[in-house]
A and B are shown apart, each in its own frame.
Chain A
Amino acid sequence: MADIIDEIKSMDLKTSWLGDWEFEVLTPKDRLAATLSYLKAKGFKAFMGLSCVDWIEEGNFELVYILQSYDLALEAIVKTKIPRQRPVIESMGTLWKLCEVYEREMHEFFGIEFTGNPNLKPFFLENWLDIPPLRKDFDTLAFSEELFEFKEDETHGIKSPKRIE
């Protein structure tokens, strides 16, 4: 366990323990593929998930890759930041084909382009025309006010939403 941490540190990457069974690795965008394939070779063979955090104030998207090693009983959380203005990153479909499905979801909800991913078609949402909805600047209230008409209920004094035809 400690060997991997030392080795990652010697690769000039920041790493720290988050809990008893998991550690995080912070890697620059251009070294992401190398870091992930290194961890995969070290036993982190299972790809558990891909998430994204919108750090709107510093202007970055943070991609979070969650890997699992069944032999070491450890989880590796690999994080990389990409600029919010031009969110483009290489697809990790060559390492895990499964990753392409998660990338499709992140493309839909955050608008991130994954180069090399053949299928980035809409997935969960249908006929979505607004900005990607999980971005921090997407205002759910403004969205529903625009889409629905709020009509005063005179008998009870309650505002009830009504769909615009």
Chain B
Amino acid sequence: MELNPLRESNDDYKYYELFIGPNHPGIEGNFSYVLKMKGHTVEEATPDPGLLHRGFEKLMERRLWTQNLALIPRICVPEPDVNEVAYCLGVEHMMGIEVPKRAQYIRVIVLELARIASFLFGISGLGGTTGHYTSVQWLIGDRDYILDLFEWLTGGRVYHIYQYPGGVKNDLPDGWLDKLSDFLDYLEKRLPEYDKFIFQNPIIQKRTVGLGYISPEDAIENGLTGPNLRASGVMYDIRKAQPYLVYNELDFDIPKTGDGDAFSRVLQRRLELGESIKILRQCVKQIPEGPHKTKVPNPFQFRVPKGSYYSKVESSRGEFGYYIVSDGDVKPYRVYVRGPSYSIGLYYATKALIGMRIEDVPVWIHTTDMCPPDFDR
């Protein structure tokens, strides 16, 4: 029996287009890739953003300096606090505001807690794409304890709107630090279990070891930052290299995995999670007494002197930067947001996904821990 001649002769039948869109469980957030496929293999990947575009940069120009603090947490949903802190650091630098020591410690506590929450969320995503649903349920369950702590501290579970130029809005409630210590004890007991059922799991290892290798040169050239960069062996962390807040008073290491494949990117996050616990324990011990904010002008008279500044914070995904321009008015002249996922989601993926099998695409996407809201802002 003869095969259909169209299959062999016509090139149009060799390729097909596959849309991995916002409803697909393998994609992160409201984002999509259009893949040109040949059989099981990706031949071409085109990012298709815009499903989440809200025009934050334009909206910020229409609001007062302090009003923006209620808007910007929405730029990164799983880890909103980095936006608030990066924005506040920029504004404080331009205005020359000194932030009290206690407020700086509270900021570090909030940032590191958000970092742990984001890591738990990110690692659990890998479980979803490999069919290992226990990890999703366990890790998201543990993340909920952090949201409880945030709710007690700020009133909000996901978006906190807790930072303010000159400090934080409220002091820590009585007994909050004890509750935090209890949670850290609990999480530390859970970590060996995570290691056993995620990182020593043969299925996860088979799916991720050796997948999507990124060399150190490639990582720098393509603008990767954070754990993705460090997993490739470039040990650069803003908290160490350009310390902000009180990170220079805290003792922590940058774990080294350095293989550059998908497995080491997830392992990097797991090890950095351990370091975050170490930082939080020191903060609980070292946090000084004193005021939690300084006096700043009232919101309608809040003017930032003319100039520009690029402030940045190490988020769980990499460098989160705010380029702020002021013309001396009560509203910002221009705010540019540098999201850490921009380079990997919109550019590097178009190179890295080529030649990959379709079932590996969601695994690769989740091990880079990209967050579409921060580039589709």
CB-based nearest B residue for A79: B308
> Is A84's beta carbon under 8 Å from chain B?
no
Beyond A21-B242, A98-B343, A140-B58, whether A70 also contacts B236 by CB under 8 A is yes
Measured in the bound complex, the distance between the Cα atoms of B325 and A134 in whole Å is: 14
Give, as a whole number of angstroms, the nearest-CB distance from A57 to chain B: 9
**Extra contacts besides A49-B338, A53-B308 (15): CB < 8 Å:** A21-B242, A24-B308, A46-B220, A46-B221, A48-B225, A48-B338, A51-B336, A64-B336, A70-B220, A75-B310, A96-B221, A97-B347, A101-B347, A134-B58, A138-B58
Q: Interface 1/0s, chain B 322-336, versus A by CB < 8 A?
A: 010100000001101
Complex CA gap A68/B347 in Å reads: 18
Q: How far is the CA of A125 from the CA of B376 in the complex (A)?
A: 10
Is B254 among interface residues, defined by CB-CB distance under 8 A? no
In the complex, A153 has a CB within 8 A of chain B: no
Whether a CB of chain A sits under 8 angstroms from the CB of B309 is yes
State whether the Cβ of B81 lies closer than 8 Å to any Cβ in chain A.
Answer: no
Quick check: is B321 within 8 A (CB to CB) of the other chain? yes
A73, B62: Cβ atoms closer than 8 Å: no
| A residues adjacent to B (C-beta < 8 A) | 18-22, 24, 45-49, 51, 53-54, 64, 66, 68, 70, 73, 75, 77, 96-98, 101-102, 123-126, 133-134, 138, 140
Shortest B89–chain A CB gap in Å is: 10
A48 partner, pick from B234, B321, B346, B347, beta carbons under 8 A: B321
CB–CB A123/B325 < 8 A: no
> What are 27 A-B contacts defined by CB distance under 8 Å?
A21-B242, A45-B220, A45-B221, A46-B221, A47-B223, A48-B223, A48-B225, A48-B321, A49-B323, A51-B334, A51-B336, A66-B338, A70-B236, A70-B241, A73-B236, A73-B242, A75-B310, A77-B310, A101-B343, A101-B346, A101-B347, A124-B49, A124-B50, A125-B50, A133-B58, A134-B57, A140-B58
Q: B202 within 8 Å of A by Cβ?
A: no
**A48-B223, A49-B321, A96-B221 known; A66 vs B310 contact (CB < 8 Å):** yes
Would you give the shortest CB distance from A136 to chain B, in whole angstroms?
A: 8
Q: How far is it, in angstroms, between the C-alpha of A11 and the C-alpha of B96 when the chains are bound?
A: 31
Q: In the bound complex, what is the Cα–Cα distance between A132 and B174 (angstroms)?
A: 51
Q: Could you list which residues of chain B lie within 8 angstroms of chain A, going by C-beta atoms?
A: 49-50, 53, 55, 57-58, 62, 93, 220-223, 225, 234, 236, 241-242, 307-310, 312, 319, 321, 323, 325, 333-334, 336, 338, 342-343, 346-348, 376
Asked if A64 meets B62 with Cβ closer than 8 Å, knowing A45-B221, A49-B336, the reply is no
Chain B residues with CB under 8 A of A133? 55, 58
How near does chain A come to B315, taking the closest CB pair, in angstroms?
Answer: 14
Give the Cβ gap from A123 to chain B, nearest Cβ, in Å: 7
Q: By the criterion CB–CB under 8 Å, are B50 and A126 in contact?
A: yes
**Closest 6 pairs (CB-CB, A-B):** A51-B336, A73-B241, A49-B338, A21-B242, A124-B50, A101-B347
The answer to whether residues A46 and B223 also contact, given A66-B338, A70-B234 and a CB cut-off of 8 A, is yes
Cβ-defined contact, B319 with A98, below 8 A: no
Q: B55 to A18, Cβ gap below 8 A?
A: no
Alpha-carbon gap, A101 to B27, bound state (A): 21
Chain B residues near A126 (CB-CB < 8 A): 50
Closest B residue to A66 by beta carbon equals B310
A-chain residues with CB within 8 Å of residue B347 when the two chains form the complex: 97-98, 101
Within the complex, what minimum Cβ distance (angstroms) separates B213 from chain A? Answer: 19
Bound together, the chains give a CA A19 to CA B346 distance in angstroms of 30
Q: Decide yes or no: A20 and B53 within 8 Å by CB, A48-B223, A70-B220 being known contacts.
A: no
CB distance from B296 to the nearest CB of A (A): 20
Given contacts A46-B220, A98-B223, contact A20 B242 (CB under 8 A): yes
Whole-angstrom distance between the Cβ of B129 and the nearest chain A Cβ: 25
Cβ of A16 to closest chain B Cβ, rounded Å: 10
Hey, which chain B residues are within 8 Å of A96, CB to CB? 221, 223
Min CB distance, B118 to chain A, in Å? 21
Query: Which chain A residues border B343 with CB–CB below 8 Å?
Result: 98, 101
Question: Which residues from B are CB-within-8-Å of A97?
Answer: 347
Q: How far is the CA of A141 from the CA of B338 in the complex (A)?
A: 26
A59 to B347, CA, bound (A): 32
Closest Cβ of chain A to B62, distance in Å, is 7
The distance in angstroms between the C-alpha atoms of A21 and B325, with both chains bound, is 18
> Closest CB-CB distance, B30 to chain A, in whole Å?
12
* CB–CB B242/A51 < 8 A: no
Residue of A nearest to B53 (CB): A124
Q: How far is the CA of A24 from the CA of B312 in the complex (A)?
A: 16
- Contact assessment for A53 and B321 in the assembled complex, using a CB-CB cutoff below 8 Å: no
- B333–A53 CB distance below 8 A: yes
Within 8 Å CB of B223, what residues of A? 46-48, 96, 98
